[in-house]
Amino acid sequence: MLNLGTRFATAFQMALRLHQRQHRKGTEVPYISHLMAVAAIALENGANEDQTIAALLHDAAEDQGGAPILIQIEQHFGPEVARIVLGCTDNMGSEKLSWRSRKEAYLTHLTMAPDDVRLVCAADKLHNVRCLLVDLRHDGEPTWERFAGKKDGTLWYYRAITDIFLKLGPERIAVELDLVVGELQRLAGEHSKTTA
C-alpha cells in the first residue's frame, strides 16, 4: 500500500508556489486544481510516489521557467521525477517550432516513452479533455478559441494521442480517454451542424 510522505507534501507546496498566479485557459479556475486532478488520476491508476510527484509537477518546467525549474525538481525530488517531468514536456519555453510541429514531435516521442511517462501524460490528457468537454457544453464554440490548435487541431491532437495510449497503455486511462474524446468529437460535430 502506498503511503505518500513529506516528499509529496513538499512537491505540492512547490506546485502551489510555482503555479499560484496561473489559471486554467479562459477561466478563473486556479491551475493547481488541474495538477491535483492529474495526481489523483495517476494515483488511482497505480502511480508510485515518484510518479505522483511528477504528476503534480508535470507542467512546472514547461510553464514556469524551463531548464532551471527542471534542475530544481531533480535537486528536491531526484532524477526519476525530473525524467518523468521532462518526458511530459513538449516545450521548454522556446517557441521555435509551430504548435503543430511541437505536437507531432511529442506524439512521436510518446511512442517511445517509458510506461511511467505515459501514465502521467495520459492522466494529464484525460483531465484536460474532461474539462474541455464541460466547457464546450457550457460555452459552446467560443471554447475552441482558447487553444492554439483551435477546433480542428485540438480534436486531431487528442484523437492522435488517445490512439497512442490505446495501443501502448496505460490501458485503463486510455479506455476512459477514448470515451471522453469520442464524446468531444460528437459534441463538436453537433455544434458544427447547428452553426452551419
Residue 63: is it exposed, middle or buried by C-beta count within 10 angstroms (0-12/13-18/19+)? middle
* The CA-based dihedral angle spanning residues 184, 190, 193, 196, taken in that order and rounded to the nearest 10 degrees: -60
Looking at residue 194, its pLDDT comes to 61
Beta bridge partners of 141: none
Residue 30 phi, psi (nearest 5): -60, 140
The Cα 36–Cα 43 span in angstroms is 10
Q: All 3 cell numbers of residue 160? A: 492522435
Residue that the C-alpha cell 521557467 belongs to: 65
For residues 114-143, average pLDDT: 96
> Which residues are within 8 A (CB) of 122 and not within 5 positions of it... i.e. 6 or more apart?
165, 170, 173, 174, 177
- Per-residue pLDDT band for 1 (boundaries 50, 70, 90) equals confident
DSSP-derived letter for residue 14 is H
Model confidence at 193: pLDDT above 90: no
> Which residues are within 8 A (CB) of 95 and not within 5 positions of it... i.e. 6 or more apart?
none
Q: What is the pLDDT of residues 36-67, one digit of tens each?
A: 999 999 999 999 999 999 999 999 999 898 99
Q: Of 160, 165, 139, 138, which is closest to residue 149 (Cα–Cα)?
A: 160
The residue count of the chain comes to 196
Q: Of 60, 80, 39, which is closest to residue 70 (Cα–Cα)?
A: 60
Looking at residue 90, its pLDDT comes to 87
Q: What is the pLDDT of residues 5-30, one digit of tens each?
A: 999 999 999 999 999 999 988 788 99
Q: What is the pLDDT of residues 59-91, one digit of tens each?
A: 999 989 899 999 999 999 999 999 999 999 988
Full set of structural domains in the chain with CATH:
6-195 (1.10.3210.10)
Q: What is the pLDDT of residues 137-177, one digit of tens each?
A: 999 999 999 999 999 999 999 999 999 999 999 999 999 99
DSSP-derived letter for residue 57 is T
